[in-house]
């Protein structure tokens, strides 16, 4: 069976995602579409607006199989997010990765990705990063503000292409033009398309415009209780006050003494946003701090970072997705494709289970990794 994979967050799922899924399947001539989706936390360093089970149900409107991206990837910068997405895609036997981009020119993107990989071996690159310059700024300066490097989906696409080259050169890549809106726009100004940011803003402010940019027969899923990052602030305060700086230094994404700055400022803020603003510097970006705080509150340590994929957590599937799963199990009988978490399989997903437990503390949801069977459509 021929497969196309989409590395996604669906925070939340919307018409643009549906278009991307359908176009990817059509243009790749795939039999099955697979979403590799962030779980309870997303790349911005925030909890997802709805839990992974609700978002998996949304996703089945456009894909056949929803597989959880390891949380280490979800709470990382673009290169590591891409790395774990591609490693998981390879584990799932995916033939082609399809990503949205503003460029929609796979040849141009591939050429720039190759040039970036070559530049990253240059001592000048490392020197600028060590001096506190942000990764996007270093690239933009080196490549003379190349237009491909000015938009977020292009930049993430370049990370996918580099990861394919490094970890799974057998996987093909294709890109679909991102239509109608940009990733971080905060308002809905199109009749059928909007960014995830704009939809989250509309949902949080009770603006019914969100209804025109998501599949209309799924509105009930968007009317579920929402998670906010501010709900985590008391847990972050507790972790920073009670843990030693030595322990905090062992947390994934904590480096260059960030733990000391976090601890010195935690008692001076009254909410998460004001705290991150206090901590933020040229070296420590807002998003980097936010990811680091999520890793602290989840107690994800450097030693927890996996080097490969040992199991895949299946969150949802259609009949076609179930057929593909049977095909995979026949092709790779030694691999672990897990549809329901048990005591036996739980050790594969320690961090993801913990993330659900924390998410549920804030939302009072009772859906967890043990009592929620694979979602079927």
Separation between Cα atoms, residue 26 and residue 295, nearest integer Å: 38
Residue 176 assigned ligand-binding role: no
Confidence at residue 208, expressed as pLDDT on a 0 to 100 scale: 87
17 is in an annotated binding site: yes
Using the structure block, give the residue that is written with the tokens 């967050």: 9
Residue 165: C-alpha distances to residues 11, 82, 87, 273 (Å)? 28, 11, 11, 37
Please tell me the predicted confidence (pLDDT) of residue 131: 83
Task: Work out whether strand 312-317 and strand 65-68 pair parallel, antiparallel, or are unpaired.
Answer: antiparallel
Q: What sign results for the dihedral spanned by CA atoms 368, 218, 67, 236?
A: negative
* Residue 277 marked ligand-binding: no
Residue 20, annotated as binding a ligand: yes
d(CA 38, CA 160): 15
pLDDT computed for residue 192 by the predictor: 79
Q: How far apart are CA 266 and CA 276, in angstroms?
A: 9
What is residue 227's predicted lDDT score, i.e. its pLDDT? 96
Contact (Cβ atoms closer than 8 angstroms) between residue 213 and residue 192:
yes
State residue 179's pLDDT score. 74
Q: 32 has which bridge partners?
A: 3
183 belongs to an annotated ligand binding site: no
Is 222 annotated to bind a ligand? Reply is no
Q: Confirm whether residue 8 is marked as ligand binding.
A: yes
DSSP 147: G
| 125 annotated ligand binder | no
Helix axes of 106-119 and 135-142: crossing angle, nearest 10 degrees: 100
Find out whether 295 is annotated in a ligand binding site. Answer: no
The CA distance from 148 to 194, in Å, is: 22
pLDDT, residue 182, reads: 52
Provide the residue-wise pLDDT of the chain in tens; the chain has 377 residues: 999 999 999 999 999 999 999 999 999 999 999 999 999 999 999 999 999 999 999 999 999 999 999 999 999 999 999 999 999 999 999 999 999 999 999 999 999 999 999 999 999 998 988 887 878 788 888 998 788 888 889 999 999 999 999 999 999 999 999 876 555 566 776 667 788 888 998 998 888 889 999 999 999 999 988 999 999 999 999 999 999 999 999 999 998 899 999 999 999 999 999 999 999 998 888 999 999 999 999 999 999 999 999 999 999 999 999 999 999 999 999 999 999 999 999 999 999 999 999 999 999 999 999 999 999 99
What pTM, to 2 d.p., does this model score? Answer: 0.94
Which structural domains are found in the chain, ordered by start? Answer: 3-102+151-222 (3.40.50.620), 229-304 (no CATH)
> Would you state the pLDDT for residue 141?
87
Q: Known binder of ligand: residue 44?
A: no
* Residues recorded for the chain: 377
Is residue 289 part of an annotated ligand binding site?
A: no
């Amino acid at each position: 069976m021929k497969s196309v994979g989409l590395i996604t967050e669906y925070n939340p799922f919307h018409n643009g995602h549906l278009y991307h899924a359908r176009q990817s399947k059509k243009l790749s001539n795939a039999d099955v579409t697979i979403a590799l989706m962030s779980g309870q936390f997303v790349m911005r360093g925030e909890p997802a607006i709805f839990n992974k089970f609700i978002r998996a149900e949304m996703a089945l409107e456009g894909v056949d199989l929803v597989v959880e991206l390891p949380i280490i990837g979800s709470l990382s910068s673009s290169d590591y997010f891409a790395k774990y997405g591609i490693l998981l895609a390879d584990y799932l036997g995916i033939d082609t990765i399809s990503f949205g981009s503003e460029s929609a020119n796979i040849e141009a993107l591939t050429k720039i990705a190759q040039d970036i990989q070559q530049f990253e071996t240059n001592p000048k690159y490392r020197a600028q990063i060590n001096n506190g310059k942000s990764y996007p700024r270093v690239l933009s300066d080196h490549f003379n503000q190349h237009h491909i490097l000015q938009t977020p989906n292009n930049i993430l696409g370049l990370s996918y292409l580099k990861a394919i080259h490094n970890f799974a050169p057998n996987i093909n890549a294709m890109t679909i033009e991102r239509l109608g809106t940009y990733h971080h726009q905060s308002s809905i100004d199109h009749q059928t398309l909007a960014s995830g940011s704009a939809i989250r803003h509309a949902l949080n402010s009770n603006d019914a415009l969100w209804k025109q940019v998501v599949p209309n027969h799924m509105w009930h899923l968007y009317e579920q209780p929402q998670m906010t990052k501010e709900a985590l602030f008391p847990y972050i305060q507790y972790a920073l006050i009670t843990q030693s700086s030595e322990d905090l230094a062992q947390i994934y994404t904590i480096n260059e003494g960030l733990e000391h700055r976090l601890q010195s400022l935690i008692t001076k803020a009254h909410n998460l946003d004001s705290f991150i603003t206090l901590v933020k510097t040229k070296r420590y970006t807002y998003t980097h701090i936010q990811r680091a705080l999520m890793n602290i509150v989840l107690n994800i340590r450097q030693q927890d970072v996996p080097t490969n994929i040992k199991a895949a957590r299946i969150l949802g599937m259609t009949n076609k997705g179930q057929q593909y799963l049977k095909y995979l199990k026949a092709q790779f009988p030694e691999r672990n494709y897990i549809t329901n978490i048990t005591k036996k399989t739980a050790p594969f997903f320690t961090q993801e289970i913990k993330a659900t437990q924390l998410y549920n503390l804030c939302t009072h949801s009772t859906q967890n990794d043990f009592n929620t069977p694979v979602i079927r459509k």
